[in-house]
Chains A and B, each alone.
Chain A
Amino acid sequence: MSETFRFHAPTNIAPGDFIRRLSKREPKRAVHPNLVAADSVSLTNAQGQWPIESYADFVGDSFMTLTRKEADLIALANPGTRPPLALEALYPWLPPQVYMENSRKNFAALKALVNQYGNHFVSPAAYCDKMWNKVCNSVRMKTDMDVRFYTAWHLPVQDTYILEEKRPNRSVVALDYNAMYPSCMQQEFPRPSKMRRVVYDREIKAGEILPAGLYRCKLQSLTSDFIRKYNPFRSFFAGRHLRAALTESLSVDLHEFEIAFFQRHFGQIYVSDAVISDQRIPHPLAREAKRCFARRAHFLSHGNKALADREKFLSTLLSSCTHRPGRLRRRFSSPSSAEKCLRENFGIVADADDPARLFAPWLQGRKAFVITETAEGLLCDTPDVASGHACFVFNQRVIARSRIVLLEMMEKISQIAPDVEICYANVDSIHFSLPDHHLNLVMDALRSGASARMGDYKIDAIAKGGLWLEPGRYWLYSDEIIKFRNRSIRHYGSAFTDHSIHVVNRQIGDLHIPVRLTICMDRSMTDMRSIEYDPVAGLERQRLVELEHRASPSIILSALERNRKQSIPRRIQAFRTLAASLGTVGTRCLETQQNCQSQLGRKSPPIGGVFEEH
Chain B
Amino acid sequence: MSYDTDMLVWVSDLDEYINIDAISRNNEHEAEEEALEAELERLGDIALFSRKSISSRTIYSRGVGPEQWRWMKHRAETSLSQDNTPAEVEADFLNAIMTLARRYAVARYARLEDLSFSSAITATFPHGIRALLYQFMTGEQSLSDISCRNTIQKTLHYAASSSKLTAYDQVGLVQRSLHELAIDVGGANADQRLNKDGMRRILSLLRLHFSVRECQVQSVSELQEMNLRYKQARIATEGALDAERRVTGSKIRNWRMRSLHPLTFYFPYCVRNSLSRLISQVAECDISPEPNIATNELALIYCGIELMKRSAKEKADRSE
Question: Which residues of A approach B to under 8 Å, CB–CB?
Answer: 51, 53-54, 56, 76, 78-80, 354-356, 373, 506, 508-509, 511-516, 523, 527, 553-554, 557, 560-561, 564-565, 568-569, 598, 601-607, 609, 613-614
B99 contacts A513, C-beta separation under 8 Å: no
Provide the residues of chain A in CB contact with B81, threshold 8 Å. 523, 604, 606
A511 contacts B99, C-beta separation under 8 Å: no
Question: Which residues of B approach A to under 8 Å, CB–CB?
Answer: 65, 67-68, 70-71, 73-74, 77-82, 91-92, 95-96, 99-100, 116, 118-119, 121-122, 125-128, 130-132, 134-135, 138, 146, 149-150, 213, 216, 218, 313
Q: Enumerate 20 A-B pairs (CB-CB under 8 Å) in ascending A order.
A: A53-B149, A54-B146, A80-B131, A80-B132, A355-B65, A508-B121, A513-B131, A515-B127, A523-B81, A561-B78, A564-B77, A598-B218, A601-B216, A604-B81, A604-B95, A605-B79, A605-B95, A607-B79, A609-B78, A613-B125
| A565 nearest in chain B by CB position | B82
A605 contacts B99, C-beta separation under 8 Å: yes
A513 to B70, alpha carbons, bound, how many Å?
A: 37
Provide the residues of chain A in CB contact with B95, threshold 8 Å. 602-605
B74 contacts A506, C-beta separation under 8 Å: no
B128 contacts A79, C-beta separation under 8 Å: yes
Provide the residues of chain A in CB contact with B132, threshold 8 Å. 80, 511
A53 to B130, alpha carbons, bound, how many Å?
A: 12
A613 to B213, alpha carbons, bound, how many Å?
A: 13
- Main SS at interface, chain A: mixed
Distance of B292 from chain A, by nearest CB (Å): 12
A603 contacts B218, C-beta separation under 8 Å: yes
B79 contacts A80, C-beta separation under 8 Å: no
Provide the residues of chain A in CB contact with B100, threshold 8 Å. 607
A561 contacts B74, C-beta separation under 8 Å: yes
A603 to B91, alpha carbons, bound, how many Å?
A: 8
Provide the residues of chain A in CB contact with B121, threshold 8 Å. 508
Among all A-B residue pairs, the 5 with the closest Cβ atoms: A80-B131, A79-B131, A602-B216, A79-B127, A605-B99
Provide the residues of chain A in CB contact with B67, threshold 8 Å. 355, 553-554
Which among B65, B67, B74, B80 has the greatest number of chain A C-beta atoms within 10 A? Answer: B74
Distance of B179 from chain A, by nearest CB (Å): 22
Q: A509-B119, A564-B78 are in contact. List 10 more A-B contacts (CB 8 A).
A: A56-B138, A79-B128, A79-B134, A80-B131, A355-B65, A527-B78, A557-B71, A606-B79, A607-B78, A607-B99
A99 to B255, alpha carbons, bound, how many Å?
A: 51
A516 to B128, alpha carbons, bound, how many Å?
A: 12
| Among B74, B135, B150, contact of A80 (Cβ-Cβ < 8 Å) | B135
| A56 nearest in chain B by CB position | B134
A512 to B78, alpha carbons, bound, how many Å?
A: 30
| A506 nearest in chain B by CB position | B125
A448 to B221, alpha carbons, bound, how many Å?
A: 70
Provide the residues of chain B in CB contact with A604, threshold 8 Å. 81, 95
A480 to B128, alpha carbons, bound, how many Å?
A: 45
A511 contacts B128, C-beta separation under 8 Å: yes
Provide the residues of chain B in CB contact with A53, threshold 8 Å. 146, 149-150
B125 contacts A553, C-beta separation under 8 Å: no
A121 to B213, alpha carbons, bound, how many Å?
A: 44
| Among A54, A79, A601, A613, contact of B130 (Cβ-Cβ < 8 Å) | A79
A513 to B120, alpha carbons, bound, how many Å?
A: 13
A605 contacts B96, C-beta separation under 8 Å: yes
A355 contacts B146, C-beta separation under 8 Å: no
A51 contacts B130, C-beta separation under 8 Å: no
| Among A509, A602, A605, A609, contact of B118 (Cβ-Cβ < 8 Å) | A509
A568 to B81, alpha carbons, bound, how many Å?
A: 11
Given A56-B134, A561-B77, is A514 in contact with B218 using a C-beta cutoff of 8 Å? Answer: no
A598 to B91, alpha carbons, bound, how many Å?
A: 11
Distance of B104 from chain A, by nearest CB (Å): 14
Which among B100, B116, B122 has the greatest number of chain A C-beta atoms within 10 A? Answer: B122
A551 to B155, alpha carbons, bound, how many Å?
A: 58
A54 to B213, alpha carbons, bound, how many Å?
A: 28
| B88 nearest in chain A by CB position | A594
Given A53-B149, A355-B71, A605-B99, is A511 in contact with B82 using a C-beta cutoff of 8 Å? Answer: no
Provide the residues of chain A in CB contact with B96, threshold 8 Å. 605-607
A330 to B121, alpha carbons, bound, how many Å?
A: 27
Distance of B65 from chain A, by nearest CB (Å): 8
Given A509-B119, A513-B128, is A557 in contact with B92 using a C-beta cutoff of 8 Å? Answer: no
B122 contacts A606, C-beta separation under 8 Å: no
A569 to B80, alpha carbons, bound, how many Å?
A: 14
A51 to B145, alpha carbons, bound, how many Å?
A: 13
A613 to B216, alpha carbons, bound, how many Å?
A: 13
Given A508-B118, A509-B119, is A515 in contact with B91 using a C-beta cutoff of 8 Å? Answer: no
Provide the residues of chain B in CB contact with A564, threshold 8 Å. 77-78, 82
Provide the residues of chain B in CB contact with A51, threshold 8 Å. 146
Distance of A210 from chain B, by nearest CB (Å): 41
A511 contacts B79, C-beta separation under 8 Å: no
| B120 nearest in chain A by CB position | A508
A557 contacts B125, C-beta separation under 8 Å: no
Which among A356, A515, A569, A605 has the greatest number of chain B C-beta atoms within 10 A? Answer: A605
A51 to B150, alpha carbons, bound, how many Å?
A: 11
| Among A356, A508, A553, A603, contact of B122 (Cβ-Cβ < 8 Å) | A508
| Among B80, B119, B135, B149, contact of A606 (Cβ-Cβ < 8 Å) | B80
Distance of A364 from chain B, by nearest CB (Å): 13
B77 contacts A554, C-beta separation under 8 Å: no
Distance of B140 from chain A, by nearest CB (Å): 15
A80 to B65, alpha carbons, bound, how many Å?
A: 45
Distance of B134 from chain A, by nearest CB (Å): 5
Distance of A598 from chain B, by nearest CB (Å): 8
Provide the residues of chain B in CB contact with A557, threshold 8 Å. 70-71, 73-74
A541 to B216, alpha carbons, bound, how many Å?
A: 40
A226 to B78, alpha carbons, bound, how many Å?
A: 34
| A54 nearest in chain B by CB position | B146
Provide the residues of chain A in CB contact with B119, threshold 8 Å. 509
| B150 nearest in chain A by CB position | A53
Distance of A191 from chain B, by nearest CB (Å): 46
Provide the residues of chain A in CB contact with B82, threshold 8 Å. 564-565, 568-569
| B77 nearest in chain A by CB position | A561
| A355 nearest in chain B by CB position | B68
Provide the residues of chain B in CB contact with A514, threshold 8 Å. 127
B78 contacts A606, C-beta separation under 8 Å: yes
| B146 nearest in chain A by CB position | A53
Given A509-B122, A511-B122, A603-B91, is A560 in contact with B74 using a C-beta cutoff of 8 Å? Answer: yes
Provide the residues of chain A in CB contact with B65, threshold 8 Å. 355
Provide the residues of chain B in CB contact with A80, threshold 8 Å. 130-132, 134-135
Which among A506, A513, A514, A565 has the greatest number of chain B C-beta atoms within 10 A? Answer: A513
A599 to B256, alpha carbons, bound, how many Å?
A: 32
Distance of B219 from chain A, by nearest CB (Å): 11
Distance of A605 from chain B, by nearest CB (Å): 4
Which among A56, A78, A606 has the greatest number of chain B C-beta atoms within 10 A? Answer: A606
